[in-house]
Amino acid sequence: MEEEFEIAESQSQASFDVKAFLIRVLSYWKLFLLFIGVGVFVVYQQNIRKQQSYRLSTQISIEEESNPLFTSTTSLTFNWGGVSGKVQTIMTSLRSRSIHEKVVDNLEFYITYLKQSRFRKDDIYKSSPIRINLTPNTNQVLNHPIKITILESNKFQLSVNFESNIARTQNFSSKKRSNLDVSIGEFTKQFTLGDTISLPYINGVVYLEEDRAPNVNDEFFIKFSDFDAVVAKYRNKLVIDNPRNSPTLNLSIVDVNKEKIVDYLNETVSVLSEDQLNRKNQFVTNTIEFIDNQLDRVKSQLTLNADSLNNYKQKNRIFDLTNESVAINSKLTLLETDKDDLNRKLAYYKSLETYLKTSNSFTDVPSPSISGIDEANIVSNINKINALSVQKSKYGSTVRKDATIFSDLNREIEGLKLVLFENINSASNELIREQQLINNKIAIEDAKIRKLPKAQQKLFDIQRQYTLSEKTYNTFLAKRGEADIIKSASVSDIVIIDSAKDTGATPIDLKLSSRYLFAIVGGILPPLLLAFLLTFFDNKLHNPQVLEKLSNIPLLGVVGKNDLENNMIVHLKPKSTIAEGFRSIRSSLQYFYKKNNLEGSKTVMVTSSVSGEGKTFCSINIATVFAMSGKKAVLVGLDLRKPKIFGDFEIENDIGVVNYLIGQKGFDEVIQKTKVPNLDVITSGPIPPNPSELLMNDKMDEMMDYLKNTYDYIVLDTPPIGLVADALELTDYADATIYVVRQDYTKKGMLNLINTKYSKGEIENLSFVYNGYNQKGKYGYGYGYGYGYGYGYGSYGNGYNEDESNKKSIINRIKTFFS
């Protein structure tokens, strides 16, 4: 018995019904069509408004391009670095704001040329036949499309609409922004192509591109965007890829206009290459500038010396020195040249020391070679400081000022400066010693000069100054030419492998046609999910097969759904399928009575789990089918708490079972005739305060004995067994008990109680009647109303059944669909 109880419990547990889920899904076909239709419509609307995006790229390589003019005899030396670290430096430059500012400025991408399409204003860029040259240092209105309408005779109409009385403007020369007071509404004015437009919110010349002739009434738009916003936009769009840390960089941009991508990428590489070459030539550029300053100074001195020499010769009529003077002059010139070299070196060291102490940037240090300094340690350290300073300036536009990289670079520079100070001090001391030796030699030669005649001495001195200035000038001039050659021969380390080009780029967005597949899937999922959730959380009975799985109690019969307001459908429509269902139940009960050798009067009790499952409906019609078979039948209303059976028979409930049980009335007074032949009814009567006690007293036994002696069939309409205990007390009077469950109403968990009592043997001869079966409902499995279960079977032919197809209103059909 305990094992049977466990089986009943496990069967009563709710489980996911796959078959019910599939049938529910099929019943939602209208929802599927609705959602798929909406999804396809939404995708279609998106497709016709969607601008496709494209990805184009360019590829560059970072290489060590050494200057072919550098040889072992080249007096000017520069530090060019190497490939190591250059890739990361170039990537940092590409991410810098300054690079993108130059590109946007060069391409004037802050000006957008638009043309109205069906759903939006499209960027037509180079396809636009009109162009505008902005007047320098003037303001242009931001983010307000200015419409240009082409008129006849090279005229056009300019119009702009303002929705606010304040407009934002920007000067694209200085990049300054300001506010402008404007009048709300549309401003229009006609101009001739090529005229200078001078308005508070647009200043420039609108002209036509060559070989472009727009049609009259064609409309175009010019829109100015904030310069910094455009820079930020393209700076964020630029994607830099360095595959496997190679010297190769792949630059790509995603945008809706392919021509803009091509121009932006190629201009970016051009600006980067120019910037990199300028940085690379920074040292030689500084050197050339320094040499030019020295040439100007020496040239002025040389001119003065030449004038002095010519004037002295003409005045004193001395045009040549003696042989002795020439020899002395040659020797002194060499000594003075050596002295000048020493002074130049000392001056460079002095200038370099002061520069290192007072400057924060060391990119302007000229080459030591211009002063004839070839000290290896000094040249190397200056080159290192210069390289670190260039690197520091590159990071300045992309890295925060408090970043660790700046501390590291400053620490390295300070260390090199300390070493340089020691090198400068040592080299200066050595040069001073050499200078003293040369001064001694010059003093010896000067003593020889003083022995010459006065006129010769004066001419000798002027000639010597002129020769020294001329030699110094020629030296600087040679170095200037050498520096120019080196600069002109220098090439960028950036090599373009593949420039950006539109070779038939395809959209990177999802193909428009494939979006419809997602729309279909998206339309299927909501109804599918709804069906799954409703099925998963649905705990009601929807078909007889589920009832069979949840309980071992036999199914006596299936009754269709009653669409009449009156419960007496067997009497009112005896040829209906519902009436045949009750006849099938009658046959099954008769088979049961015969099988159990029951003679004489038979009693059947009808109960259910809760109110509303059709217990009274089944009681009335079971009693009716017995009466219609020619047998005397009585229907007894024992649901003392909620009496119902009197209304359908159009009788009163003033007197009934309660009156008999308390001794107020006799049998003849409580039994009422009905319009159904052979069927009497005993209503429950007034609602008592103690219904359970009344049903348990001796008067109940007397009443049942009397009824068995009077009637062939007794149908007891009892309270729901799931709510009160009254029905359990009445099972002793019943030969068969019918437990009514109702489709789409009875919850699966309600069967636990009756399964338990049945498995324990507390209720015997128990059968289910499945009420409210809707064969056309969502969860039907092909049952017929005459299907027989349990102890008997029923069969009928549909040929004589009445047509019960009722035409429902549209509202009722919608309610049925979503129920």
- What string of H, E and C letters represents the secondary structure of 97-122? HHHHHHHHHHHCCCEEEEEECCCCEE
Q: What are the backbone angles phi and psi of residue 565, rounded to the nearest 5°?
A: -75, -25
User: Burial of 409 by CB count in 10 Å (0-12 exposed, 13-18 middle, 19+ buried)?
Assistant: middle
Q: Is the dihedral angle over the CA atoms 512, 513, 515, 516 positive or is it negative?
A: positive
Interacting residues of 806 by C-beta distance below 8 A, sequence separation 6+: 563
- What does the alpha-carbon distance between residue 332 and residue 439 come to, in Å, rounded to a whole number? 11
pLDDT reported for residue 108: 94
User: Burial of 251 by CB count in 10 Å (0-12 exposed, 13-18 middle, 19+ buried)?
Assistant: buried
Place of tokens 């308005």: 199
Crossing angle of the two packed helices 86-94 and 376-395, in degrees rounded to 10? 30
Contact 348, 371 (CB under 8 A): yes
Smallest CA-to-CA distance from 180 within 201, 202, 197 is with 201
Residue 776 DSSP one-character state: T
Residue 630 DSSP one-character state: T
- What does the alpha-carbon distance between residue 241 and residue 235 come to, in Å, rounded to a whole number? 14
pLDDT reported for residue 450: 55
pLDDT reported for residue 314: 52
Distances (CA, A) of 408 to 355, 358, 381, 404: 21, 20, 17, 6
Place of tokens 């549209």: 810
Smallest CA-to-CA distance from 274 within 395, 102, 397, 57 is with 102
pLDDT reported for residue 393: 65
Q: Which two tokens stand for residue 156?
A: 């056009």
Q: Which two tokens stand for residue 769?
A: 């009647």
CA 474 to chain centre: 69
Amino acid at 815: K
Task: Report the run of H or E that residue 454 belongs to, with start and end.
Answer: helix 454-489
pLDDT reported for residue 563: 84
Distances (CA, A) of 541 to 12, 23, 326, 751: 11, 14, 133, 10
Contact 366, 287 (CB under 8 A): yes
pLDDT reported for residue 316: 56
Contact 714, 602 (CB under 8 A): yes
pLDDT reported for residue 389: 74
- What does the alpha-carbon distance between residue 722 and residue 609 come to, in Å, rounded to a whole number? 4
Contact 645, 620 (CB under 8 A): yes
What CATH class does 539-818 carry? alpha beta
- What does the alpha-carbon distance between residue 624 and residue 569 come to, in Å, rounded to a whole number? 9
Place of tokens 């799931």: 722
Crossing angle of the two packed helices 282-316 and 454-489, in degrees rounded to 10? 160
pLDDT reported for residue 673: 92
pLDDT reported for residue 603: 95
CA 786 to chain centre: 60
Place of tokens 């260039």: 390
Burial track 606-642 (b if 16+ CB lie within 10 A, e otherwise): bbbbeeebbbbbbbbbbbbbbbbeebbbbbbbbbbee
Smallest CA-to-CA distance from 107 within 220, 203, 231 is with 231
- What does the alpha-carbon distance between residue 247 and residue 493 come to, in Å, rounded to a whole number? 11
Amino acid at 120: R
pLDDT reported for residue 803: 42
Crossing angle of the two packed helices 404-449 and 323-358, in degrees rounded to 10? 160
Smallest CA-to-CA distance from 306 within 95, 468, 501, 74 is with 468
pLDDT reported for residue 628: 92
Q: Which two tokens stand for residue 342?
A: 């020493």
- What does the alpha-carbon distance between residue 222 and residue 148 come to, in Å, rounded to a whole number? 8
pLDDT reported for residue 307: 64
N-terminal to C-terminal alpha carbon distance within the chain: 40
Smallest CA-to-CA distance from 806 within 560, 559, 540, 543 is with 560
Task: Report the run of H or E that residue 169 belongs to, with start and end.
Answer: strand 166-171
Smallest CA-to-CA distance from 773 within 629, 604, 620, 618 is with 618
pLDDT reported for residue 80: 41
CA 287 to chain centre: 54
Q: Is 241 helix (H, G, I), strand (E, B) or coil?
A: strand
- What does the alpha-carbon distance between residue 110 and residue 120 come to, in Å, rounded to a whole number? 19
CA 118 to chain centre: 27
Q: Report the DSSP pairing between strands 111-116 and 139-141.
A: unpaired
Q: Where in the chain is the domain with CATH 3.40.50.300?
A: 539-818
Distances (CA, A) of 223 to 112, 142, 226, 489, 814: 5, 7, 10, 43, 54
Torsion angle defined by CA atoms of residues 711, 712, 717 and 718, in that order, rounded to the nearest 10 degrees: 90
Distances (CA, A) of 50 to 35, 82, 122, 710: 22, 48, 11, 86
Smallest CA-to-CA distance from 739 within 574, 575, 550 is with 550
- What does the alpha-carbon distance between residue 128 and residue 105 come to, in Å, rounded to a whole number? 19
Q: What is the mean pLDDT of each run of 10 residues along the chain (819 residues)?
A: 40 62 87 90 80 87 57 44 62 89 94 89 90 94 93 91 92 93 92 92 91 88 95 93 84 91 93 79 67 71 66 55 58 73 77 74 59 70 75 62 71 80 81 81 66 54 66 72 66 79 76 78 89 84 85 91 87 90 92 89 92 90 93 92 85 90 89 92 90 85 92 92 76 91 89 88 90 66 38 33 44 50
